[in-house]
Amino acid sequence: MKVDLPAELGEVIGGYRLEEVIGRGGMGCVYRASHLKLGRKAAVKVLAANLARDAHFVARFFQEARIVGEIGHPNIVAILDYVDAEQPRRVAYVMELLEGSTLRAILAARPLSMTQAIPIALQISEALRAVHALNVVHRDLKPENVFVVAASDTDVPARPSIKILDFGIAKVHDPRSPIETEAGVTMGTPAYMRRSRSRTNRCRRRPTSMHSVSCCSR
């Protein structure tokens, strides 16, 4: 069965040629790509075609890119550029290309040793400290959104380095932000949310995120 893609392989977006689909989600796809002139490898996240025509989703997508750019933390995936184009309609951003696996994939294959788990938890906590300093809450921190960086042909390092991914439903505690969550709508993955938040949808920054860290560390 053919799956519709938000952009075709071989297409050029923001100077990058899309080569391979490396991730899919509800909002679009992530492609491995190469810069046409420099040959530099990158990951390009392209918003789904139907969402690219919705001003609310485009604004949320841009907010994700802006938030990550402002945080600028070594344990958060770097976003390098943002693209909003017509004819054809494409909304995308360019990220650093990471080698390794998600924490979810690693935990499904084997348990981590204490010497591996502790650095991961500490790095997640330091990244969240930087996120909270800008009055932002990730709201969907889970093993799928924690990437363990490693050469593709190696096992998990003794002291792994991590990157937090996907700020697509992040909450900005700023009255100037035009993006609001609809009342009564729960944002995030229930298994990684505090019970009080899943019941009331109130988003208290540190307790909520630290609960997610503890769940990721299990």
What's the pLDDT at 40? 96
State pLDDT tens for residues 51-110.
999 999 999 899 888 888 889 999 999 999 999 999 999 999 999 999 999 999 999 998
Which of 4, 84, 140, 174 is flagged as catalytic?
140
- Tell me how far apart the alpha carbons of residues 53 and 71 are, in angstroms, rounded to a whole number: 28
State pLDDT tens for residues 138-197.
778 999 999 999 866 567 777 789 999 987 656 776 544 554 444 443 344 444 445 554
The reply to whether omega before 111 is within 30° of 0 (cis) is: no
Model confidence, pTM: 0.77
Q: Domains in the chain, ordered, with CATH?
A: 12-95 (3.30.200.20), 100-216 (1.10.510.10)
- Tell me how far apart the alpha carbons of residues 128 and 144 are, in angstroms, rounded to a whole number: 16
Q: Residue 42 pLDDT more than 80?
A: yes
What's the pLDDT at 216? 54
- Tell me how far apart the alpha carbons of residues 12 and 182 are, in angstroms, rounded to a whole number: 35
Q: Using N-to-C axis directions, what is the helix angle for 114-133 and 205-216, rounded to 10°?
A: 160
- Tell me how far apart the alpha carbons of residues 199 and 34 are, in angstroms, rounded to a whole number: 44
Residue 129, Ramachandran bin (φ over 0: left; ψ between -120 and 50: alpha; else beta): alpha
Q: Is-catalytic flag, 140?
A: yes
What's the pLDDT at 185? 38
The three-point CA angle 193-139-27 to 5° equals 120
